[in-house]
Every structure is written in structure tokens, then in C-alpha cells.
Structure 1
Amino acid sequence: MGSFSIWHWLIVLVVVLLLFGRGKIPELMGDMAKGIKSFKKGMSDEDNDEKAADARTVEHRADEAIQAKEKTSKS
């Protein structure tokens, strides 16, 4: 029960190539790269949405402070 020899790895490589074909593996890698790019874009969009929500919260609080100040100055 030792490690695999070079012959084991060659047999595995041949089986993989027979199952997926020569052109299929690069296609799968391209699809994986597109998926990773899409995931990163989604994560950055989520961060931008959170920043925009935080900015709206700050603006809302500022508006409330201005309204409260106006009410106290009218009284």
C-alpha cells in the first residue's frame, strides 16, 4: 500500500481523456473561469449595494437631524 506509480497516473490520465475528450477539458476550464468571474462580480455588486444602503442611512439620519433642528428653532 504505497503511493501511486507513474503507470497508475498514466492510466488515470488516459481514462480521463477518453471520458471527456481532448476538447472537453479546456471547455470545462473556460466554464469554470466564467463561473469564478461571475461569482466575483456578484460579490462586488453586493458590496456596492451595502455601501449604497449605508449612504442612504446616513442621508436619512442627516435629514432627521435637520428636521429636528428646524422644529426646535420654530418653538
Structure 2
Amino acid sequence: MGSVPLDAMDAEEIIDLLEHAAVVIGQLAGQQMAELVNAEHAPGERSPAELSIDLALAAADLSDAAAEHTALTPS
């Protein structure tokens, strides 16, 4: 797998977006309408709860990588 160069500001913005998306989707997890929409539009894919966890993990991984390669400190 290759890498994509990001400057610190881009990485920080992407981390923030991933963290916020994880929170929003986490709030939808378990709500009947959200679960039905997810099942209809993404059958066989991750549930909102699983997606929320995956987004949070991606944000943490990117934060760690950014801290290692830039002046960013992990959030």
C-alpha cells in the first residue's frame, strides 16, 4: 500500500472530520430508522455501530501517523 503526502493542516482537518463522523454515526446506531436505511442502502455492510468504531479507529491511526511525521500532537 502506498502513501499520500499530507501537510499537517490537511491531516488535522481529516482527523477532525473522521472524529465528528464517528460521533454522529455512533448517535444513529441503534435507532430503528437509521438501521433500516443502512440495511436498505448498504446491505451486508457494516452496521452504524461498526462504522462508528471504524471511523474512530481511522481517526486515531491518522492522528498517530501525523504525530510521527509532522509537528501535530495526537488528539
The TM-score, its normalising length taken from structure 2, stands at 0.35
The structure number with the bigger radius of gyration is 1
